[in-house]
Structure 1
Amino acid sequence: MEAESPEGSIDPRYSSPGARAADWSAARERVARAELFWLSTVRPDGRPHVTPLIAVWYEGALHFSTGVEERKAHNLAANPEVVLTTGTNTWAEGYDVVIEGTAVRVREPGRLRALARAWEEKYGPVWHFEVHEDGGFQALHGMAEVYAVAPRTAFGFGKGETFSQTRWRFPAG
């Protein structure tokens, strides 16, 4: 269930004169439609790690998966704080969204089945998953853990004729 939309605040230091805060519902729709995200995690020794991946928006959180032996899975075991970024790779057009939050492992079979359907609906049959008995997705090379990131803070960056930086803060919990 989606929480109420937080009110955004514009940062005039990084926005064009007269820019207005964007509406979270519009940013959330951009996130839901986005095909590619960049996940930033921190290695156990403190060094950053960034990798592209696909994700789905479902019930108020952005969800991604990772193989249990992948670098990001090891990073998340040590520190679940993440940043997910999506947008356009251009300077003067488009819109970028950054979501900060805690990655929480999803294990409940019913929710995993719903997420598997959401992945396939969004990305097609090449991304068909079965739910693994240990609480994840059965992937080509073994089990993949699934994580949910409910936004704690999000930023929207408008580009083009009017540049803007909107910040949304979400209630805890």
Structure 2
Amino acid sequence: MSQPRGRTSAPEVSASVEAFLAEPLVATLTTLRPDGSPHVAPVRFTWDAASGLARVMTVATSRKARNVLANPGSRAVLCQVEGFSWVTLEGTGLVSQDPQRVAAGVQRYAKRYWQSPPNPPGRVVLEIAVDRVISLNT
């Protein structure tokens, strides 16, 4: 997959951050509403270090998807926390209904969480082209 506009490579992360992001935990996803206020929702997600993409399975009518669709190129932030350890993934959000991209999201989700995600009508994948990784105690 080509890199998003303005990005030349995926961010490098340590082996400990990579291991932490592979654990089947929940994270918070923050997107911005059209009025600029933050919307925060708990989500399951996957991290693809090779492409620098985090993926969240959702539906096009969800608030998180509508926020990204209303403001193309807007920022989206995932934060996974366990105890006093956390990793934040920041980047540009994109919502896609492309069957190949949705299938890639489903495949990664099933591998990480040991089950397929729900398959409601209107399922899409919210991809975050991560350009900043911040962590503590990982």
82, 93, 115: which is aligned to 2:76? 82
For these two proteins, the number of residue pairs brought into alignment is 127
Counterpart residue number, 1:153 = 132
SS of equivalent to 1:87 = strand
Provide TM-score, normalisation by structure 2: 0.76
Shift in alpha-carbon separation, 1:31–1:66, aligned structure 2, 3 A: same
> Is 1:113 paired with 2:92?
no
1:8-157 superposed matches below 5 A: 24-58=14-48, 59-79=51-71, 80-88=74-82, 90=83, 94-125=84-115, 127=117, 139-140=119-120, 142-157=121-136
Q: Is the 8 A contact 2:96 2:124 kept in 1?
A: yes
* Root mean square deviation of aligned Cα: 2.4
Q: Is the 8 A contact 2:57 2:106 kept in 1?
A: no
Provide TM-score, normalisation by structure 1: 0.63
Which sections of structure 2, spanning at least 5 residues, go unmatched?
A: 2-8
Q: Is the 8 A contact 1:34 1:86 kept in 2?
A: no
Q: Which has the larger radius of gyration?
A: 1
Partners of 2:29 and 2:129 in 1: CA distance: 14
